[in-house]
Chain A
Amino acid sequence: MSTSSNAYGAGIMAKTGKAFADEYFSEENQTVHESNEVVLVLKKSDEINSVVHEILLGDRKEDNATLIVEDRAGYWWLKATGKIEIDCTEVSELLGKHFSVYDLLVDVSSTIGRAYTLGETFTITSELMGLDVKLQDFETAAA
Chain B
Amino acid sequence: MAISAATKAATDALAVNRAPVSVGAQEVHRWMQSFTWDFEKNRTKYSTKYKMANDTKEQFKLIAKEYARMESVKDERQFGSLQDVLTRVDAANRVHPKWNESMKVISNFLEVGEYNAIAATGMLWDSATAPEQKNGYLGQVLDEIRHTNQCGYINYYFAKQGQDAAGHNDARRTRAIGPLWKGMKRVFSDGFISGDAVECSINLQLVGEACFTNPLIVAVTEWASANGDEMTPTVFLSIETDELRHMANGYQTVVSIANDAAASKYLNTDLNNAFWTQQKYFTPVLGMMFEYGSHFKVEPWVKTWNRWVYEDWGGIWIGRLGKYGVQSPASLRDAKKDAYWAHHDLFMIAYALWPTGFFRLSLPTAEEAEWYEANYPGWYDMYGKVYDEWRARGCEDPNSGFLPLQWFIENNHPIYIDRVSQVPFCPSYCKGASSLRVLEFNGKKHSFSDQWGERMWLSEPERYECQNIFEQYEGRELSDVIAEGHGLRSDGKTLISQPHTNKNGKLWTLDDIKKINCVFNDPLKAL
Contact = CB atoms under 8 A, between A and B. Distances in A.
A12 B306 contact: yes
Interface stretch (B213-221, B283-291, B488-496): B213-221
Contact of A128 (B60, B302, B312, B321): B321
Contact of B311 (A25, A35, A73, A106): A35
Interface centre among B24, B238, B311 (most CB of A within 10 A): B311
Contact of B237 (A102, A109, A126, A138): A109
Contacts of A75: 218, 221, 233, 237
A1 B282 CA distance: 31
A58 interface: no
A31 B237 CA distance: 30
Contacts of A30: 332-333, 336
Q: How large is the interface on B (under 10, 10 to 19, 20 to 34, 35 or more residues)?
A: 35 or more
B406 interface: no
Nearest to B248: A115
Interface string A98-127: 001011011111111111111100000010
B244 A109 contact: yes
Interface string B269-309: 00000000000000000000000000000001011001100
B29 to A, nearest CB: 7
A41 B66 CA distance: 21
Given A35-B316, A102-B70, A110-B244, A131 B222 contact: no
A65 interface: no
Interface residues of A, number: 55
Contacts of A73: 221-222, 225-226, 233
Interface string A125-140: 0101111000101110
B314 A33 contact: yes
Given A12-B306, A32-B310, A32-B332, A110 B213 contact: yes
Contact of A72 (B69, B210, B222, B313): B222
A129 B57 CA distance: 10
B248 A45 contact: no
Given A16-B375, A25-B336, A126 B316 contact: yes
Nearest to A107: B241
Nearest to A13: B303
Given A34-B320, A139-B30, A74 B225 contact: yes
B457 interface: no
Given A30-B332, A45-B77, A131-B258, A112 B377 contact: no
Interface in A48-66: none
Nearest to B210: A112
Interface string B163-191: 00000000000000000000000000000
5 contacts: A13-B306, A20-B303, A32-B332, A35-B320, A109-B243
Given A73-B222, A138-B61, 10 more contacts: A21-B340, A24-B340, A25-B336, A37-B315, A73-B221, A106-B74, A106-B77, A112-B214, A130-B251, A131-B255
Interface of B: 24-27, 29-30, 33, 56-57, 59-62, 66, 69-70, 73-74, 77, 210, 213-214, 217-218, 221-222, 224-226, 230, 233-234, 237-238, 240-241, 243-244, 247-248, 251-252, 255, 258, 300, 302-303, 306-307, 310-322, 324, 328-329, 332-333, 336-337, 340, 374-377
